Amino acid sequence: MTPNQIVFLVLAFIAVMASAGVVVFGANAVRSALFLVLNFFVLGFIYFTLGAQLLGITQIMVYAGAIMVLFLFVIMMLQLHHGPQLKKYQDAKRPLAWLIGLGIFCLVFTQVIQKLSMTSQSPVTDEYGTPKAVGLVLYSTYSWPFEVTSVLLLIGVVGSILLAKRRI
């Protein structure tokens, strides 16, 4: 195993465990949100290992730093306490969920493990994900989708103001 692979596997393990923590360990909404924060944070580091600095830091800044804070804010405002849970002992959904989950896992695993065992180094250059490289591509080749996205965001802003304000 090369150092690159070890770094990736450690980060991937944390990310997978965190994303499992979002839905599997307990039913506390705040803890789930926290696991999601951890997942986003580690995902940023996986982007770093791929040389995508701008994408990684944006991931941490926007998702881990801003959106999840709002999520936590809402969860705490609503005071979502999980009440006593009723357990169904004979539920066909449980084994079915295990089966489908395992099936998808095997499917993805068999596809990924081959590529992963062959790859020892990320194929990208150092300049691949720097702000300069991303900016050059974004404002030349992909300027049309970029502008359309900005219009979409503008519509989102106007829409949220319309929904939130009763009187304008």
Partner 1 sequence: MSQWIEDIAKGKDAVLFGIHMYGPGVLALIKVLLLLIPALILVPGLIWWERRLLSWMQDRIGPNRTGTITVPDNFPIKGLRGKKQRTAGLLQPIADGLKLFLKEDITPASIDRKVYFLAPAIALFPAFAIGGTLPWGSAYLPFGDAVGGIYSLLTPVANVDIGILYVLAISSLGVYGVVLAGYSSNNKYSLMGGLRSSAQLISYELAMGTALASIVLASGSLRMTDMVRVQEQALWGVLPAVQNWFVLTPFGLVGAVIFLICMIAETNRAPFDLPEAENELIAGYHTEYSSMKFAVFFMGEYAAMFFFSGVFAAVFLGGYNLLPLNYEYLATHGWNFLGQDMGGFWRGMAWFNYWAGPAIFVGKCVVGITFFIWLRATLPRLRYDQLMGLGWKTLLPLGISNLIIVGLWIVATKLWGIGGGWAAWAAAAAVLVIIYLNIASLSKKDEMAFGGRSVEMKDPSPRRTVKMVDPNKV
Cα–Cα distance, 37 to 40 (Å, whole number):
5
Query: Which region among 6-14, 88-96, 97-105, 129-137 touches partner 1 (by CB under 8 A)?
Result: 129-137
Q: Nearest Cα to 47, choosing from 81, 8, 86, 88?
A: 8
Query: According to CB under 8 A, which one of 54, 116, 128, 138 is a site residue for partner 1?
Result: 54
- Check: CB of residue 44 under 8 Å from CB of residue 59: yes
CB of 151 to partner 1, least distance (A): 18
Give the one residue of 58, 116, 128, 138 binding partner 1; rule: CB under 8 A: 58
The amino acid at residue 34 is L
Choices 14-22, 96-104, 128-136, 150-158 (CB under 8 A): range interacting with partner 1: 128-136
Tell me which stretch binds partner 1 (CB under 8 A): 55-63, 83-91, 92-100, 139-147: 55-63
Spatial CA neighbour of 49 closest among 4, 93, 14: 4
The DSSP annotation for 72-108 comes to HHHHHHHT----PPP--SS-THHHHHHHHHHHHHHHH
- Is 50 a residue that touches partner 1 (CB under 8 A)? no
Q: For residue 57, what is the enclosing H or E element?
A: helix 53-58
Task: Figure out which of the listed residues 11, 72, 116, 138 binds partner 1, where binding follows CB under 8 A.
Answer: 72
Nearest distance in Å: CB 21, partner 1: 12
Cα distance between the two ends of the chain: 61
As measured in angstroms, the least distance from the Cβ of 130 to partner 1 is 5
Q: Which is nearer to partner 1, 75 or 116 (CB)?
A: 75
# residues contacting partner 1 (CB under 8 A) = 24
Count of all residues that appear for the chain in the document: 168
Please give the residue ranges that form the binding site for partner 1 (CB under 8 A).
28, 30-31, 34, 37, 41, 53-54, 57-58, 60-61, 64-66, 69-70, 72-73, 76-77, 130-132
